[in-house]
Structures are given as C-alpha cells and as structure tokens.
Structure 1
Amino acid sequence: MQKAHSAVTHSHSRMQNTNTHTLHIVWVNKHADFIGGAERYIYDTVKALAEKGIKSTLLYQLDGEIHPRFTHVFNSAYPITKLSEQLNHHSPNIIYLHQLDQIQDIDTCVQSGIPSIRFFHDHKLFCLREHKYTTIGHNTCQRKTGPGCYVCLGFIGRNSQHKLTVNRLGNLVAQQNSNRNLAGFIVGSEYMSRVLIQHQFELDKTHVIPLFTSSNTSVIKLSQPRHSSQLLYVGALVRGKGVDVLLRAMASLNMEVNLLICGDGPQRDELQRLSQTLGIDHLVKFKGYCRSGTLTKLYQQASALIIPSRSPETFCLAGIEALSHACPVIATSVGGIPEWLQDGINGRLVDSNNILALGGAIRDLLQHPDTTQRNAALAQQRIVQQYTIDRHTHQLIQVFKHLLKENLNQAMTATPMAGGDRHANH
C-alpha cells in the first residue's frame, strides 16, 4: 500500500508545472563522446533543449568514451555506477535512453517508475550482425530476426579488435523483451516504426520524429557554383554502406569523374585496393573523418552526394544535410531514405547493389546539371523548413509530456481504494 501511495506522490511531483522550464531529463548512453550519429544527435538536441530551459543530466557507461567538449552541454554528467541510486538521487521527469546494451540497465529504468523512452538509432536490436544485410550475397534484409538469421550466417560477427565472434539469437531476443517494457519508443522514420512493429513492439508506444539538419538555415546560400564532375560520399567505410558498389559504378562510366570519400572505417584499406584494381585510384580521394565545417563546404561544391547503402538506413542524415545546401542526392531505395527523397523530384533512387543503375543515375545527373540543380534548389526550401531542430524538439517535448500524463494516470489507478482491501484493476 505504501509503495502505491509513494508512486502517486512521485508522479505528482513530476507532473507539477511540466512546462519546458521545469523538465529534467536524464540521458543514458554508452559513450560521452562524439562516437557516431547517436552522440551527435544527443549533443545537438541537449543544446536545443537547454535554450528552452530544460535541464539535462548524462549517465554513461564506465567503459564508454568521454570528452569534455561533449559533456559540457549537460548540466551534469556521471558514469553509471549504481543506476537505481543515481536515478533516485537526480529524480528526473524523463529517462531518455540511446545506445545501451546492458539489459540490467534497461530493467532498472523500467522499475524506477520514471517514464523511460528509447530512441532506436540503428538495427543492433533487430539483427544479429547489426546491419540488416545478408552475409551471403550482401543483399538488403527485411526479415524479422529469427532462426533464418543463422541460415544467412548472421550469427558471425566481429568485435572491436576485428576478431570473429558468435552472436546468439537468445541474447538478442532477451534484449528485445526487456526494451518492450519501456514506456515509449522514438524512431526517425516510418521505416523504423515498421521494424519495431515487426518485432512486436507496441504501435501505440512508438513515436516517429524525423531527424533534423544541423545546418544554420539563416546563413545557407540558396545558390552555389558547383564542380561539374565532383561526387561526394559521406559516411562510415563499412560494407553495409555499399562504397564498393559506388567505386564499381564509377569505373563503368568512362567519364572523368572525381570522388571524395569523407569518413573512415575497417573497410578503408580494402576500398583503396579496389579503386586501384579498377584503375580509378587517381580519381578517388580518401579524406578520412571531416568536421561539419568542412562538410558544409563540400556539400556546397559537389555535383552530387551519393548514398550507395545496401544496409537499410534508419533515416540517413547526410542526405538531409546535402539537400539543405541544394546538393543533389543519388541514393539507394532502402530503409527510411524514400521518405525524404523522391525519385526524379529532389534526387534519384536506385536499387541497392545495382552497379549499372547507380552508374546510369550518375551519368544522367552529370549530363543534365541545370535540371538537376534546379530540382535540388526547390528541394532545399522544403528541407530547411521541414527538418529543423525546433520542429524535432517541439515534437519530443510533446511526447515527454504525454508520457508524464500517462504515468500519473497509471499511478492514480494503482492507488489503494478506500478501506485498503480492494485495488483498482490495471
């Protein structure tokens, strides 16, 4: 009985004055550093929410990376030691989870009684090999995780030292079961919403909030002179990104086309050797990791950004960033990409792994630069208006408030009825 009354008391305190100036969010993530897209999202969103008066605390795993440039946007940041005690101490309104692979931490958040919601940035919870393409044939996968994952050798993986590992379906299912108990789920695309539903996550608890361009829309130039034959790739150098397909497509063009590859990863050496084998190494430059300022200039100069992914992209922010600078985009029709890229309107879509189709789309774009650039300029207007951080944070706050209200209603329902001998049904 006492526990029920306590839950109502805490829920009331979290619901009181739930305007943006009283919200306190605890962010839980493996790293406290700029490791990937998830961390970039966390950093940008925390900054934007801080401008609205929202307090943010970061809890990160002991084995995670940490950098002061990342943590300084938070009101406070701590490594996870005893999570239940830390949550009780900070007493946030909302727990917002991101990259996290410890089931016990998920369970602790659920059991805290604090509304806990998770953003699913990738396929780690829905694919044994994390990238949703088959080991044999490298084909884009749309299947639900199950015994079929063993048939495609999806259980074979590599650790951070690039050593072979065996991934077990039972572990993945256990993580899915734990995550289903969270109060809500956030995804960046309708595609990812379908993936969650395919894996028995509740539709009513799933919220689609598209990502945002980090470009400063007030200083974006609507028209930029572009190189006539400069292609651009931005992303990790892993097999799922399909850079090998892009290199083969370039070799098929019989045109003097240059390619800048911005990014790094375990496939870099292999891709450099492939460009040499194809005889196009003099046309391809591997620039490694590029900061946002450098990417802005490249988006403004390139003939097109190429996204040759075979792994279904959960959103693909690089494409939005490119279009915000009126840079044309050619991409594979996988994952959430078709939700913001319409073939023949603001870019070109081709099938994944199709070298000839990708090469043909590149050739067509380079041969019709005026039409392509005109369409990209029109697309730019829509992108900078629709995919803004203000729009994203507004929707995010509405989800938080909805969860707080639901949490209060559930706590009220659980309150013992008069006399103490009866309880409301759940």
Structure 2
Amino acid sequence: MIIGHYDHEIWAKGGMATYIRRISNAQREAGHRVHFFTRFPCNGLNLAEAPIVTPTELELFTQAEKLNVDVLHLHRSIAVPPPKYLPTLRTLHGHQPYCPSGSRFLERWHKPCDRAYSPVGCLWGHFIDRCGSIRPHNLVKNFQQTQQEQTVLSQIPVITVSHFLKEQMVRNGYPDDLIHVLHLFAPEGSNNDPPPQTEPPHFMFLGRIAPQKGVDWLLRSLQQVKQPVHLDIAGEGEQEAEMKALAEKLGVGDRVTFHGWVDTEKINQLICGARALIFPSLWHEPAGLVAFEAMANSRAVIASCVGGISSTVIQGVNGLLVTPNSVDELAASIECLATDWKLAMKLGAEGRSMASQQYTLTTHMEGLFCLYEMVIRRSDQ
C-alpha cells in the first residue's frame, strides 16, 4: 500500500509530529511505502522523512495522484473536499470542526465550554466568555475554518481519538456513519516498576503552563494538602512566571519545582520518581495524552473529568477523577494517594495492564489499516 500523510507543518514539534512519525515507521516496517506532504516547508529527522511541499489543496491532490497514493491520511484541515477518486480520511485531534477557537475553554470563567456550535453563540463566547481571539482577522479566519471543516468533513471518513470527540461531532451535525473512534496508543518499552515509597511522595504535572491546563487550580489545591508532598511541574508556557509567583504567594514555593521544558529522558526520570501524575485540565481534552504516559509507566492518574479523559481514566481502576476547579476534591485525591501507597501502586499496575492490552501500537495499526481498506472500497463504489 502507498500511504500519504498530510499536515500543515508536518514535522513541527509536538504530539502530532510524534504520532505521525510513529505510525509511519510502523507502516514502513510492515512493507508499505509512505510519503509526507506539508503546506509549509519543514525538515524531518532524516532524508526518508523529507516532505513534499504542497501549498494548495490542488497541488496536494495532484502530487498524491502522481505518486499513486492508495490512501491520503489527513492530520489537519483542508479547505476543499478531495476528488472522489482519491481515497482520503482525516484523523481529528481537536475541536475545530465545531469550535471556531478550537479551545472549548471559557477563559473568563476558567471552565470548559459545553455549548454546541452556532455562529451567534460562538461570537458571544469570543467577546464575552473570552474563548478565542476577538481581533477581526483572527475572528473571521477561525469562523471560516469551521465552515470549511463542515463542508469537507461531512463528505469524507473521519477518525476521532476518543468517543467524546465523536459524540461532539454527531451533536454538531456531522454524519454518524462517517465517524470512527480509534484510540491513541501508549508509549512502548516504558517503566514497569511500582512507585517509590520515599518521603515526601512526589506528584507530577506534565504539560503546557497555560490557563486551560489548570496549574492555578493545582497550586491552590496543593495549599490545602496537609500531608507533606512535593510537586514537580515539567513544561513551559505563557503562565510560567505567573504560576511561580502564585506558588510563592500561596506559601507552597518550597513544595514545588518548576523544571521548565525537559527532554524525554528527564520526563521518564520524573515519572519514575512520582507517586502519581496529575492532569488538572480545565478544557475538554480531546484524548488526554498524559493519561497514556502515566499508564505506560505504571503510575496512577489524578485527572479532571473533562473531554476524552474519562475514556481512558476510570475512577478507582487506573486513577481518580475530580470535578474541574474543585479545590477540595483535588486536594483530597492528592492526600489519598500520598497516604495510601498500596492504592497508588494498584491503580498504576492496572493502568499498565490497560496500556499493554488495550492501548498498544499493534492494536492501533490493525484498526487503522481496516479503516484504510474501508476508505479504498468506498472510493471504488
């Protein structure tokens, strides 16, 4: 099979590039030929990853046809539908098809957005709830992109990375029969050791330090934790300086270490030293990648019950779920695992079992190829 992967900037740093790289490597190892297409020039890690620059959709479709691509796998939006003779599907990693800002987060109120898409409601959200930019150029661009998504994604098969995303798509008028759920996979070859029993127990936050990620809520909850604990924050973002100042203001500065951006080796080291990972998101996470990191490393997760997180974090099985913005619930969950090592170990072990049985790269690739074959059959009809 000849497979084409497309993104606007295919090797830009982030989770999308990591995902594309891992599945394309697996596809090549299985004997398939893979091509990469990008709207904007960028460089891969090696010559085999060199992408073909296609600034317009017409050039993308033309290049795919010239290379005899059997399936064009989109990872980002296109402005016009592909020709019917070109088998095409899209993996949806976010909310843009029904949320012009793509955030599903009401920054003014620090809570997730639960409204369905409507031009009037979403304009209200931008101006009153501060869910997105109100600069005229950005505002028009965001709404135009959602309209383009409605046109394209109502005509081609779509893969969502969680049941939550599919539910949102159907709720907003996309055809149910074109939407297929395929969960992401946990990292392979990770830690299988139980959490350390050293005191004080360490907890870890991994992600961007931004309003929708809930670091403010996490620090305020930490202030209420009576048990001696230490919080490691791995990541950077626009709120980093503000959160450092907040930690000092709350009197928990000596209980928090801000590590900034860290590489994979350091991330693994911090995870191995943690009792559990904390995932306090205040927006509707499409899938919840941090949960997969925790499960792969035999660590429990304390997570907010938003978006796709509850598809992978099951209360009392591999983690603890809390209500967004509830300081009391988050503080109680931290204290619970800080004082109950056996429970943290049990939740982490179950998470590891789930990762190795349900969320493997092999399972993901089997499902993906079934969808590829379905798309090819559909285009032949």
Give the TM-score of the pair, scaled to structure 1. 0.82
The C-alpha deviation readout for 1:113-146, integer Å capped at 9, x for no partner, is 2111111111233223221121331221222111
Task: Tell me whether 1:253 sits opposite 2:225 in the alignment.
Answer: yes
Given candidates 125, 129, 132, the residue that maps to 1:157 is 132
Given candidates 293, 297, 308, the residue that maps to 1:336 is 308
Q: Verify the 8 A CA contact 1:38 1:99 in the aligned structure 2.
A: no
1:78 partner amino acid: I
The C-alpha deviation readout for 1:301-340, integer Å capped at 9, x for no partner, is 2011000001111111211111221111100011111112
Q: Verify the 8 A CA contact 2:65 2:86 in the aligned structure 1.
A: no
Task: Tell me whether 1:210 sits opposite 2:183 in the alignment.
Answer: yes
Task: Tell me whether 1:225 sits opposite 2:196 in the alignment.
Answer: yes
Matched residue of 2:101: which SS? coil
* Shift of residue 243, structure 1, vs aligned partner: 1.1
The C-alpha deviation readout for 1:189-221, integer Å capped at 9, x for no partner, is 10011011112111111111110012216xx43
- The residue that corresponds to 1:28 in the other structure is 6
* Shift of residue 237, structure 1, vs aligned partner: 1.6
Q: Distance in 1 between matches of 2:214 and 2:130?
A: 21
- The residue that corresponds to 2:165 in the other structure is 192
- The residue that corresponds to 1:415 in the other structure is none
> Structure 1 pair 368/125, CA: closer, same or farther in 2 (3 Å)?
same
Task: Tell me whether 1:365 sits opposite 2:337 in the alignment.
Answer: yes
Q: Distance in 1 between matches of 2:47 and 2:209?
A: 29
> Structure 1 pair 316/221, CA: closer, same or farther in 2 (3 Å)?
same
Q: Work out the percentage of aligned pairs sharing the same amino acid.
A: 23
- The residue that corresponds to 2:65 in the other structure is 88
Number of residues of Structure 1 aligned to a counterpart in Structure 2: 373
2:132 partner amino acid: G
Q: Greater Rg, structure 1 or structure 2?
A: 1
Which one is further off, 270-279 or 147-156? Answer: 147-156
Given candidates 215, 222, 225, the residue that maps to 1:243 is 215
- The residue that corresponds to 2:44 in the other structure is 68
Task: Tell me whether 1:124 sits opposite 2:70 in the alignment.
Answer: no
Which one is further off, 146-155 or 326-335? Answer: 146-155
Q: Verify the 8 A CA contact 2:186 2:295 in the aligned structure 1.
A: no
Where does structure 1 lack aligned partners over 5 or more consecutive residues?
1-22, 410-426
Kindly report the root-mean-square deviation, in angstroms, between the aligned alpha carbons of the 2 structures. 2.2
1:95 partner amino acid: L
* Shift of residue 73, structure 1, vs aligned partner: 5.1
Where does structure 2 lack aligned partners over 5 or more consecutive residues?
none
Q: Distance in 2 between matches of 1:311 and 1:186?
A: 21
- The residue that corresponds to 1:38 in the other structure is 16
> Structure 1 pair 113/221, CA: closer, same or farther in 2 (3 Å)?
same
Q: Distance in 2 between matches of 1:94 and 1:365?
A: 46
* Shift of residue 56, structure 1, vs aligned partner: 1.2
Which one is further off, 133-142 or 238-247? Answer: 133-142
Q: Distance in 1 between matches of 2:44 and 2:315?
A: 42
Q: Verify the 8 A CA contact 2:99 2:146 in the aligned structure 1.
A: no
